[in-house]
C-alpha cells in the first residue's frame, strides 16, 4: 500500500511538472495546494514572521515557474524546499544587515560556524562541492534518527524544543546529541581535508 501511495505521489509531482513545462498557470495552484504548508513551515522556521514567510513561499512559486523548464527536478518537494530555504535565508540576512536579526536563525547558524568553513575566494565553488560531498558522507554514517534530527535542526532550522517534542526526548539530551554530532562533523571534515 505504501509503495502504491509513493507511486501516486510521484505521478502527481510528474503531472505538476508537466503543467510547468506546458506553461499552464494551473501549475502554481497545484504546487501551492500540495506544497504550500511544507514550504511555509521551512520559511517560518527561518524568519519567524508569517507575512515574510508567505512572501518567500510566493517567491518560491515564481522561481519554480521561471526555472521549469529547463530544469526538471528529481524530487519536486526537495527542489521547492531548497528554493524556499535559500530565499528565506537571503531575507534573514537582509534583516540582519539592518540590525533586525531573529534569534533562532542566528543561533542555528552560529552552532554550525565552528564546523563549516566560511565561503569566499576563487576556489569557493570547488570547495563547496567537496564540502557538500563530505557532509553527505557524514550524514549517511549516522543512524536514521540522528540524521533526521540533524537535518531538522540545520536544514529546516527547527527549534530544539520542537525537535525534542517530536522525538520524545528532553531538550538537554537533544542539545547534547546535537553538540556531539557537530563535534563529529568537524572531525569528519578535518579528516576529509576540509579546513574549518
Mean per-residue pLDDT over the chain, rounded: 82
pTM above 0.85, yes or no: no
Per mean pLDDT, which range of 9-13, 66-70, 153-157, 179-183 is the poorest? Answer: 9-13
3-state secondary structure of 99: coil
pLDDT of residue 129 exceeding 50: yes
Residue 39 contacts residue 54 (beta carbons within 8 Å): no
- Judged against a pLDDT cut of 70, whether residue 110 lies above it is answered with no
pLDDT at residue 196 is higher than 80? no
Alpha-carbon span 122 to 119, nearest angstrom:
10
C-alpha cell at 113: 560556524
Whole-number Å distance between alpha carbons of 163 and 25:
36
User: Between 76-97 and 26-47, two packed helices, what is the crossing angle to 10 degrees?
Assistant: 50
Contact 192, 130 (CB under 8 A): yes
- Tell me which of 95 and 123 has the higher pLDDT: 95
Instruction: Show the cell assigned to 67.
Output: 526555472
Residue 103 has pLDDT above 70, yes or no: no
Residue 116's pLDDT is 66
Residues near 73 by Cβ (< 8 Å), separated by ≥ 6?
17, 79
Instruction: For cell 536514521, name the residue.
Output: 144
DSSP classification of residue 117: P
| Domains, the chain, ordered by start | 2-100 (1.10.1740.10), 106-191 (1.10.10)
pLDDT digits (tens, 9 = 90+) for 58-83: 999 999 999 998 888 988 998 999 99
Is residue 4 pLDDT above 70, yes or no?
no
pLDDT given at position 101? 43
The pLDDT value recorded for residue 192 is: 82
Contacts of 77 (CB under 8 A, 6+ apart): 13, 35, 38
Helical H segments across the chain, by residue range: 2-21, 26-47, 50-67, 76-97, 103-113, 124-140, 144-154, 160-167, 171-191
Amino acid at each position: 500500500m505504501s509503495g502504491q501511495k509513493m507511486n501516486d505521489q510521484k505521478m502527481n509531482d510528474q503531472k505538476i511538472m508537466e503543467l510547468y513545462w506546458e506553461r499552464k498557470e494551473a501549475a502554481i495552484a497545484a504546487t501551492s495546494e500540495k506544497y504550500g504548508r511544507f514550504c511555509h513551515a521551512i520559511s517560518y522556521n527561518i524568519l519567524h514572521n508569517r507575512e515574510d514567510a508567505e512572501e518567500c513561499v510566493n517567491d518560491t512559486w515564481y522561481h519554480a515557474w521561471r526555472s521549469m523548464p529547463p530544469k526538471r527536478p528529481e524530487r519536486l518537494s526537495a527542489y521547492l524546499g531548497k528554493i524556499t530555504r535559500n530565499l528565506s535565508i537571503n531575507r534573514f540576512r537582509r534583516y540582519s544587515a539592518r540590525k533586525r536579526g531573529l534569534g533562532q536563525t542566528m543561533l542555528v547558524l552560529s552552532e554550525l560556524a565552528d564546523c563549516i568553513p566560511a565561503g569566499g575566494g576563487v576556489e569557493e565553488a570547488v570547495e563547496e562541492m567537496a564540502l557538500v560531498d563530505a557532509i553527505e558522507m557524514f550524514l549517511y554514517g549516522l543512524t536514521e534518527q540522528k540524521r533526521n534530527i540533524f537535518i531538522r535542526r540545520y536544514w529546516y532550522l527547527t527549534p530544539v524544543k520542537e525537535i525534542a517534542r517530536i522525538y520524545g526526548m528532553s531538550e538537554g539530551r537533544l542539545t547534547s546529541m546535537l553538540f556531539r554530532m557537530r563535534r563529529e562533523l568537524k572531525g569528519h571534515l578535518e579528516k576529509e581535508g576540509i579546513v574549518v
